[in-house]
Structure formats: C-alpha cells, structure tokens
C-alpha cells in the first residue's frame, strides 16, 4: 500500500466564511479528519461521506489529548495510505505545534502539505476595527505566547521596549501578571484590549488601558480563549469607542 499524506489545515478563528477555498477542498478530500477543540464543529459539514472524524482537543487549563498521541495517529493513518487532514484553529503555523508535527511526519517519510489561514490575532484586530501596524504608532507586531514550555513567562520588558504592537496569546489567566510586567516599561495609559472568542458568534471585546485592562477583564468575566492586544495602534479602537460614546465592552451577535 502506498503511503498517504497529511494536510495541516488552518480553520481560522471560527466563522466558516473565513476559511480559504483551499482549506475547504482539503477537508472535502480527507479520509481522516483530526480536529482541534477550538475549531467550529460545523466544519465537518464540508467533509466527504466516507471521512472519519477524530476529535483531538488541546486547550490550556483543560484535559487535552497528548501531543505524542496525535502524532502517532497521523503517522498510523498516513502509513495506511490515507489522506489525513489535521484541522487546527486559527493558523496552523502559529502556536499550533505544527513544527513538531511536521518534523515527526517527515522523519517517518510522510508527505506534509500546509494550508494557511487567519489567526485569532488578526481576527481580534478586525473585530476592534484597527490595524496591528500603524505608521503613527509602530512599525511592526509581535505575536507571543504568554507562557513558555516550562510554564515561565516571556521577557515582557524586552518585548515592551520594542515599541511594537503585542498580540498575546493564551494569556487570559495571567492578565494580571502580564499587565503588571508590561507596566514596568510602558506607561499605564498605553492602549490595551482583550478579545475573547475572536471571529465567532460568541465574540466579546474589551478596550481599556494597560493599567486598567486586568481589572476590567475580571469585572466582565473575560476568559480563555482570548487575545490580548497592547500598543499605540490599539488606541485607534479606543478613539472609535469614545467618539461614539459607547461602553468599553462590546459584544457582537452572529
């Protein structure tokens, strides 16, 4: 039997309208779909009638499918000659452990295809109606996870000193320590925002300042999954809210 292949599909932030055509075609062509926990379950409506669906949820703070087990599943099915479609929330190449999976599959002689998508950081910015970069505020954006493999945190002082917009993933449970650490370098009035469930019908948006963002998030019960955005460019969202005399907290319906 010929060896199959694995396609790493980026499912985007949740809304199926944000899937690429290429992602939809890959899902329709798959024999086995391995689906992450944060992926919109309606994505299975795009599969073929014969395709098998296996949920391999991975979420911080929740019971998760071990990464080694997921990689064994991919190898097993691909070596049986099947087309395995590994469906990841957001973009597969950003904080999705794609690097580990790609290396493992290539070591096993299995072909890997990658389909890009929209990360929740971009979805969060779109929800706020702001650009992550802005010639008047910054020249770049840094995507960073709030905790390292050993459960420590990044060098927030060094990140803050870059002057770039910070798009912080997996930081909702640490927003107090994050804002405190960033405030040692940035001023308390630095614009900040949190977007929970970005790009989905459950989306919740909160605009504040770095000095207030943690308290506001706690008051409004903002939790994971969420993206924290910090920097001058995010102030454009605060200006819009002030101009419309709207409350800082905003919700979007489906």
Q: Are 5 and 75 in contact (CB under 8 A)?
A: no
Spot the catalytic one: 74, 164, 170, 238: 170
Is 1 annotated in the active site?
Answer: no
User: CA 207 to CA 134: how far, in whole Å?
Assistant: 18
Paired strand residues for 113? 7
Is 47 annotated in the active site?
Answer: no
**Is it true that the peptide bond before 11 is cis, omega within 30 degrees of 0?**
no
Cα angle at 20 between 14 and 25, to 5 degrees?
A: 110
Spot the catalytic one: 58, 82, 88, 204: 58
Is 36 annotated in the active site?
Answer: yes
DSSP 183: T
Paired strand residues for 103? none
Helix (H) or strand (E) holding 9: strand 5-10
Q: Are 110 and 143 in contact (CB under 8 A)?
A: no
Q: Which among 158, 141, 232 has a CA at the least distance from the CA of 189?
A: 232
Q: Are 3 and 78 in contact (CB under 8 A)?
A: yes
Active-site residues, by number, are 36, 58, 170
């Amino acid at each position: 039997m010929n060896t199959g292949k694995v396609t790493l599909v980026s499912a985007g932030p949740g809304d199926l309208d944000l899937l690429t055509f290429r992602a939809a075609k890959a899902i329709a062509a798959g024999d086995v779909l391995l689906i992450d926990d944060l992926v919109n379950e309606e994505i299975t409506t795009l599969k073929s009638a014969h395709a098998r669906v296996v949920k391999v949820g991975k979420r911080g703070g929740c019971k998760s499918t071990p990464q080694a087990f997921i990689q064994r599943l991919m190898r097993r099915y691909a070596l049986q000659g099947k087309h395995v479609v590994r469906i990841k929330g957001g973009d597969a190449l950003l904080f999705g452990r794609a690097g580990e999976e790609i290396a493992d599959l290539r070591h096993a002689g299995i072909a890997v295809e990658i389909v890009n998508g929209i990360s929740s950081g971009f979805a969060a910015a779109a929800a706020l109606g702001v650009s992550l970069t802005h010639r008047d505020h910054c020249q770049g954006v840094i995507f960073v996870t709030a905790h390292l493999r050993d459960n420590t945190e990044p060098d927030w002082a060094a990140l803050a000193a870059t002057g770039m917009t910070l798009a912080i993933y997996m930081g909702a449970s640490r927003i107090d320590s994050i804002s405190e650490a960033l405030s040692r370098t940035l001023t308390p009035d630095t614009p900040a925002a949190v977007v929970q469930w970005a790009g989905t019908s459950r989306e919740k948006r909160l605009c504040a300042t770095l000095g207030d963002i943690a308290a506001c998030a706690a008051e409004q019960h903002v939790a994971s999954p969420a993206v924290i955005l910090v920097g001058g460019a995010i102030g454009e969202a605060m200006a819009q809210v002030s101009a419309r005399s709207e409350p800082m907290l905003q919700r979007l319906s489906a």
